[in-house]
Amino acid sequence: MPGDIVKFSSGDRIGADIRLLETKSLEIEESALTGESIPAVKHASPLSSSHVSLGDLTNMAFMGTLVTRGSGVGVVIGTGMNTAMGQIAGMLDAAGNMGNAAAKASRAARENSDDCGCFIFNGARSGSRCCART
């Protein structure tokens, strides 16, 4: 739950997005989020810039990642869909729904057109020359 203080160590899977407060030789495998195959070195120090990519948030541990070395303590800042992984899942879901909408539109277009690709609405063909053939 946001605000909870959690401890974790090597072998633990991170269950929430966490702002790190203390670390000891902490490394976390984040390939599911960043695509990086090498574990990320983590620390509790504030970042020098507020505009950094997900992979550059070295003072954060993210839900679904794996602690490969060391240990840490942090405060939970996000759970479930309110995490980096949740945001990615939401975007994928939205993209999937857009894909479904496009597929439905394509299917509707096929079902409502003749062999020439001209649309048929309520039994009447659109007015192109192609559709003039009967």
Q: Does 121 map to a domain?
A: no
Cα 56–38–94 angle (5° rounding)? 60
CATH for 34: 2.70.150.10
By percentage, how much of the chain surpasses pLDDT 70?
70
Query: What are the helix (H) ranges across the chain?
Result: 31-34, 84-111, 129-132
Q: Does 108 map to a domain?
A: no
pLDDT at residue 48 in the model: 86
Q: Does 19 map to a domain?
A: yes
The yes-or-no verdict on residue 30 having pLDDT over 70 is yes
Q: Does 49 map to a domain?
A: yes
Joined tokens for residue 91: 């975007």
Mean pLDDT for 96-121 is 51
List b or e across 38-49, with b for residues whose CB sees 16 or more CB atoms inside 10 angstroms.
Answer: ebbebeeeeeee
Q: Does 15 map to a domain?
A: yes
pTM summary value? 0.70
DSSP E strands, the chain? 5-9, 17-29, 40-41, 60-61, 66-78, 120-121, 124-125
**Domain tally, the chain:** 1
Q: Does 39 map to a domain?
A: yes
The yes-or-no verdict on residue 15 having pLDDT over 70 is yes
**Residue 18: domain span:** 5-79
pLDDT at residue 96 in the model: 67
Mean pLDDT for 94-106 is 59
pLDDT at residue 66 in the model: 97
